[in-house]
Structure 1
Amino acid sequence: MERGLILLIATGMVFLTSGVRGTAHLSFDSSTQVNITRAGCGDTKVCVENPSGCDPAGNTSCLFTSLSGSPLTPPNGTDLSVELSGNSSGYIALGLTADPAVGISLFFFCAQNNGTFFFRTMSRNNSNSSAFTPVETIVSGIRSLLNGSLIQCEFTVPRINATNTRNSDAGTFVVLLASGATNGTMIDLPLNPTVSAPVSVPGTISNAATTPSMTTSNMTTPNMTTSGVSSFSTPHALLLPLSVLALSVLKTV
């Protein structure tokens, strides 16, 4: 099936309409209640937050995410379980990439419009921070909680992989966190994320750093140790069930 991709490149504010893509790639689950805390950080999940050390259970100014995954099987990846919490009248966003200076970032937006929750998936060309494209990345088990300006959501991204090779870096991601405004059900772009040091997300986390270092400068590049061309892969709703969408990134020594 032929798919039209709209590339949004701008120097100022960009608005992305919700009707550009369908929602068949998203599945929601209201069977359990969202309950995001620091419990398990450094043990069963990797936690990244801004400001450092804040607790999403008691501080609405805390922009927080936790990541945990099934056993990693590159290039098939891991089923990544995500918690995302933050204070915004618009959206909070999680971005995942292998290298924030080049290649592609995948972004997941938990947002609200007059107290109604909505969810978006997009990719960004890291070499142009304004270049966002809507993508139908498969996301399952989406749960949400809205309490005034507090947005919390939980979801799973199946078979996501930072590389396409069988090495230890396949489960290592740079985490991007952001919050911003919405205009109805449109996301106001571009965004200016905080950037973490690379974090590893194996199925069982034994020595995970609970608070990776963060920087507020836009697209600051942590040191990356792998070399060559790799692929940031994740399932795509419009491909065959076992296929993945490969988003190429160039990683340098």
Structure 2
Amino acid sequence: MKTLAIVVLLSFAAYAAGANINCFQCKTNVVDSVVGGITMSNPCLAMANDANTTVQTATCPDTSKCYTKIRTVAQYAFSVERGCWDNYDDKDGAANCDAKEDSGCNGILKTGTCFKCCNTDKCNKNFAQLDGLLDAVQVTSSGCGSTKGCFQIPAWCAPPSCDYFSSWQTSGDNVLFEISGRSDGYVAVGVSHDELMGLDDIYECVYDSARGITTVFSSWSTGKSMPERDSTLSEGRISAVAGSYVEGVVSCKAAVNMRKRQADLVNSGRIYDLISEFYLLMSKGSTTGNTLAYHASNRVVSPSTVDFQRNTLVNGVSSSHVMSVLALLPVAMAMLL
């Protein structure tokens, strides 16, 4: 009888040691979404705790924990992962899941990456960082001059009624840009040391009519040739983007790292660090796919420089905005006005 009891206990211990854990398993990111950000109807983002959820589950070994990883910018979700994290598997350079825990998307702006581990069945459902996330892109003039800086044309306009609108808000090492305007293709903002185009950073909010997607590109312009686009957004200074095209209005949001410089990026890394004062140059025009047409006279220049660390309100345009070298985003070879 004693021998039987020992066998039973050993069998139970062996079962316990080999017990598995069930975790929600899914993955989605901004390119899987119709609009720039992941909408709150996305199952992986917001339905993992629904009793009727379609989110699949995975059976993970006993060495694992369930995890959720969500990346957000300005209250919009851009990627989400759920699954099993094997503590004995050196994933992303960190073997211990708990050591990876991060609440970087907390706070008012909800910008950053959240990572959370847990060790019970299907525990990697929604968690607190999802509260307050927004659905789709909403560029607004609310907070202009108080919580964020803005450049508006016409003066005091509010999107979607602006011909040109851009705003900026500093969060850590990032400047959170909003770009909007009435256009059937693109609206772009250039960062310049003077009122003329040349040696400037450009952020393009582009509606790709062929794919029905609106996104942001970073480029560099000499003013005398086709701007060079950065094709490595995932590794470059733009960490996340969201965009939409609704009833003739193009709108985008993007987080731009103020200091990131990499030799393999656009223009050999020669980009501005956004900690100095700059003029803002804006233009708009049509697109073919995501290729930009020449803007012609559709351009404006801020009447003064802006400091991206200050919530300045800028209205009106420079008196010298009719210039001979504002060739912002041409698609052809050098075009001097």
TM-score normalized by the length of structure 1: 0.60
Query: Does residue 1:120 correspond to 2:223, yes or no?
Result: no
Q: Which has the higher contact order (CA 8 A, sep 6+)?
A: 1
- 1 or 2, which has the higher strand percentage? 1
SS at match of 2:275: helix
Please name the residue that 1:211 is paired with: 315
Please name the residue that 1:106 is paired with: 201
C-alpha distance in structure 2 between counterparts of 1:184 and 1:163, whole Å: 28
Contact 1:94 1:107 in 2 (8 A): yes
Please name the residue that 2:308 is paired with: 201
Contact 1:80 1:159 in 2 (8 A): yes
Query: Does residue 1:182 correspond to 2:287, yes or no?
Result: yes
SS at match of 1:41: coil
1:23-172 alignment, distance < 5 Å: 29-30=37-38, 31=77, 32=134, 33-57=136-160, 59=161, 61-70=162-171, 78-101=173-196, 104-114=199-209, 115-126=212-223, 128=224, 130-136=225-231, 137-160=236-259, 170-172=275-277
Aligned length: 178
Q: Cα–Cα, structure 1 residues 187 and 179, in superposed 2: closer, same or farther, change >3 Å? A: same
Q: CA deviation at 1:70?
A: 3.5
Q: Is there any run of 5+ residues in structure 2 with no aligned partner, and where?
A: 1-30, 39-76, 78-133, 261-270, 327-337
Contact 1:109 1:120 in 2 (8 A): yes
Which consecutive aligned stretches of 4+ in structure 1 deviate over 6 angstroms post-superposition? 161-164
C-alpha distance in structure 2 between counterparts of 1:93 and 1:132, whole Å: 12
SS at match of 1:55: coil
Larger-gyration structure (1/2): 2
RMSD: 3.0
C-alpha distance in structure 1 between counterparts of 2:325 and 2:148, whole Å: 24
SS at match of 1:34: coil
Q: Is there any run of 5+ residues in structure 1 with no aligned partner, and where?
A: 1-22, 72-77, 222-253
Q: CA deviation at 1:62?
A: 2.8
